[in-house]
Amino acid sequence: MNLIKRSNILSLLFGMMIAMLVVGLAPMQSTQAIGEVTHPNDIFTTVYDDASPSVVAISALADTQGGAGSGFVIDSNGHIVTNAHVVDEATEIIVNFLDGTITRAELIGIDLASDIAVIKVDLPANQLDPIPFGNSDDLVIGQTVLAIGSPFGQRWTLTSGIVSALDRTIQGLTQFSVGGVIQTDASINPGNSGGPLINLNGEVVGVNSQIISQSRSSSGVGFAIPANLTQRVAQTLIAEGEMNYSYLGIAGGDVTLNIMELLDLPNNFRGVVVSDIVDDGPAADSNLQQIAETRTNDGELVDVRLDIITAIDGTPVGSMNDLITYLARNTQPDQTVTLTVLRNGTETIDIPLTLGSR
C-alpha cells in the first residue's frame, strides 16, 4: 500500500515537473522574442534617455506673433531639423536644449512643399548630440513608435503609439501634396510640430507635422513626414539653401471600378488615370494623353481615350501617392523619366518625359 502510494506520488510529482518545464519554457522563449512588448517601459525609457538630449524646443518670433514647436539635432555642425510652419517668416528663432542651454538659431533653408526646415545653432560639437535617421521604407503597420517634443509649451514630453497607416498623402504648405506620409496614433499636439517620430532602435523615422482633429488635440490622427524624404530635403537645404522638386504637369486619380468595367480590366488593376494635362507643362510636350470621350447625339458612349500610368522608370505605380512619392524622392528637374502607360486598356507603351520644376 505504501509502495503504491509512494509510486503514485512520485508519478504525480514527475508529471508536475514536466508540466512546469513545459509551461515555463514558453514564457522564456516569448520574452526573448518580443521583449519590447512584455517590458515596453524599459525600452521607452532607454530610447527617451538617449534621444531627448537631441530634441529641442523652438520659439519662433515674427513681426506680429510668435510660434512654438520642436526640432532635433542632425549633425555636429549644429544643424537642426524642424517643420517649415514653425519657423516660416520668423524674425528671431530661440532654441532650448534639455540641459538648459538657450541659444539663438539662424534659418538655413525652408521647404514649404514638404513642411521641412533646417536651422543652425552656433555651439561646440561636444554640446551637440545628433540623433540618427532610420529607413522609413522599412516601417510596417502596427510597429511601435515614440514621439518626443514640447506640446503646449511643456518640456520634453514622450508619447507612444503605433504606425497606424503608411503611404498617406497630405497637403503641404503649397498647392502640392506630400506623399509617402506616416500616420500614427502616438499623441501629437500643437508644439510637437517638427519633433522626431522614433522607432525602438532610437532612430528618427519621421518628422511630426500635422494632426487631423476637431479640437486641435491628439484625439485625431497624426502625420509625420517620412525620414527618407526629410533627409533628402535637409541635405539639399544645407547645401543649396532651397529645394527644387521635379514637376510632371498632370492631374490624376486612382483606377475606379467604373474604369475597370469600361476597359475590361482585372478588378484589382492599379495605376494613375491621367485626367488632365496642364497646358505648357512637361507632360504637354510628351505623348501622354488625358481622358477624352466620344458620344453620340443621344449621349451614348462610343469611344474612350484614356492613359493609365502603371510605372515610372520601371518602378510600379499603384496610386497618385506612389507617383508623388517617387518624384519627390528619386528625381530632379530636367531629368528624363520613362512612364509605362496602359493606353485605352489595349496596349502598353513607354513614354519618355523630361521633368520640369515646380
Residues with a known catalytic role = 85, 115, 193
Is the Cβ–Cβ distance between 176 and 246 less than 8 Å?
Answer: no
* Separation of alpha carbons 250 and 239, rounded Å: 30
Position of cell 449621349? 299
From residue 174, give the alpha-carbon distance in Å to each of 66, 115, 117, 170, 226.
Answer: 21, 9, 14, 11, 18
Distances (CA, A) of 215 to 147, 189, 197, 219: 20, 10, 22, 8
Phi, psi for residue 27 in degrees, rounded to 5: -60, -35
Q: In 112-203, where do the E strands start and end?
A: 116-121, 144-149, 157-171, 177-184, 196-198
Report which residue type is found at 20. Answer: M
Alpha helix (H) ranges present in the chain? 2-33, 35-38, 40-51, 84-87, 227-240, 257-262, 320-330
* Residue 181 near residue 169 (C-beta atoms within 8 A): yes
Strand partners, 109: 118
Main-chain dihedrals φ then ψ at residue 242, nearest 5 degrees: -155, 165
Contact 248, 95 (CB under 8 A): no
* C-alpha cell belonging to residue 55: 530634441
Report the distance separating Cα 186 and Cα 181, nearest Å.
15
